[in-house]
Amino acid sequence: MITVSDVNKRFGKLEVLKSIHVDFKRGKSYAMIGPNGSGKTTLIKCILGMVLSDTGSITVNGKPIANDWSYRNEIGYMPQIGRYPDQMKIGQIFDMIRDLRQNQGGIDDELIKEFKLDRMADKRMHTLSGGTRQKVSASLAFLFNPKIMILDEPTAGLDPVAVEILKEKIVSGNNKDRTFLITSHIMSDLDELTSNVVYLEEGKILFDDTIDLLKEETGELKLGRAIATIMKRNINDMERV
Ligand code: ADP
Ligand code: MG
């Protein structure tokens, strides 16, 4: 569904992505894990066309994304930090996005209702707490029933009830036609929500396979411990060089 080949990206002197090759397949759900600053958000933004890579190519459904924005209609994106016009009301945001987007997949406004955002339609964006903004972002990501869901730290800042609502939505929305790409620092969430893991460190992919294989390779039962094991392995390797 999404193929990234030989993508390099630097910001000034900083090499943020180093020869990234990765395939996100239809029907699978991917956890993208890595320390802060390892390049997760930048890779996501490259896929979305919000950051232009220096080299390489990205295709979505076999078509190169360069110079053709239509693929974005197939992607639901929940940004790590959602930015909205301060003076707009919640209801206006949803109305505006619906007007902008011609939707083919049908509307899915379940999250708007479950987060009770419909009852807060008249609240202005600048008055909202971080968690409520996250709820708006999550609801927008699911709104058009997209085939590709990219969620950048979706549960960060949400209250426990909202976390469970969103996780339930992700699990129930997971099907053979959909691809999920989720970043999070909460390993137990990813363990529940995803089947595959792409592990990034300093802009390089160090592991890209199923969570089951990662657990088997490391002899660990939990994703968090398995990731800790490969992180330690890398530190040891680096010390040896
Ligand atoms: P992650 O999401 O894994 O925490 P990011 O992809 O956000 O990491 O950032 C990777 C590195 O790139 C960080 O060192 C960050 O400061 C840097 N970076 C990200 N965006 C920019 C930008 N627009 N300009 C300069 N540096 C950036
Ligand atoms: Mg990030």
| 155-211 residue pLDDT tens | 999 999 999 999 999 999 999 999 999 999 999 999 999 999 999 999 999 999 999
Considering every ligand atom, which ligand is closest to the CA of 154?
2
Q: If you write DSSP's letter for every residue of 2-51 in order, what string do you get?
A: EEEEEEEEEETTEEEEEEEEEEE-TT-EEEEE--TTSSHHHHHHHHHTSS
Is the pTM value of this prediction over 0.85?
Answer: yes
Residue nearest to atom 25 of ligand 1 (CA): 11
148 strand-pairing partners: 75, 179
Kindly give the confidence (pLDDT) of every residue in the chain, 241 residues in length, as a single tens digit, with 9 standing for 90 and above. 999 999 999 999 999 999 999 999 999 999 999 999 999 999 999 999 999 999 999 999 999 998 888 899 899 999 999 999 999 999 999 999 888 876 666 899 999 999 999 999 999 999 999 999 999 999 999 999 999 999 999 999 999 999 999 999 999 999 999 999 999 999 999 999 999 999 999 999 999 999 999 999 999 999 999 999 988 887 777 676 5
Does the beta carbon of 35 sit less than 6 angstroms from any atom of ligand 1?
no
Does the beta carbon of 16 sit less than 6 angstroms from any atom of ligand 1?
yes
Location of structure tokens 């220096």: 54
| Distance in angstroms (rounded) separating the CA atoms of residues 181 and 109 | 21
Does the beta carbon of 34 sit less than 6 angstroms from any atom of ligand 1?
yes
| Distance in angstroms (rounded) separating the CA atoms of residues 46 and 58 | 8
Does the beta carbon of 173 sit less than 6 angstroms from any atom of ligand 1?
no
User: Which DSSP state fits 60?
Assistant: E
Does the beta carbon of 184 sit less than 6 angstroms from any atom of ligand 1?
no
Which residue of 7, 16, 45, 202 sits with most ligand 1 atoms within 8 Å of its CB, as the best mutation to test the pocket? 16
Pairing status of strand 2-11 against strand 55-60: antiparallel
Residue 51 CA, closest ligand 1 atom number: 23
Pairing status of strand 63-64 against strand 179-183: unpaired
Q: Using the Cα atoms of residue 42, residue 48, residue 52 and residue 57 in order, give the sign of their dihedral.
A: positive
Domain layout of the chain by residue ranges: 2-82+146-240
Domain 2-82+146-240 has CATH 1.20.140.10: no
Does the beta carbon of 52 sit less than 6 angstroms from any atom of ligand 1?
no
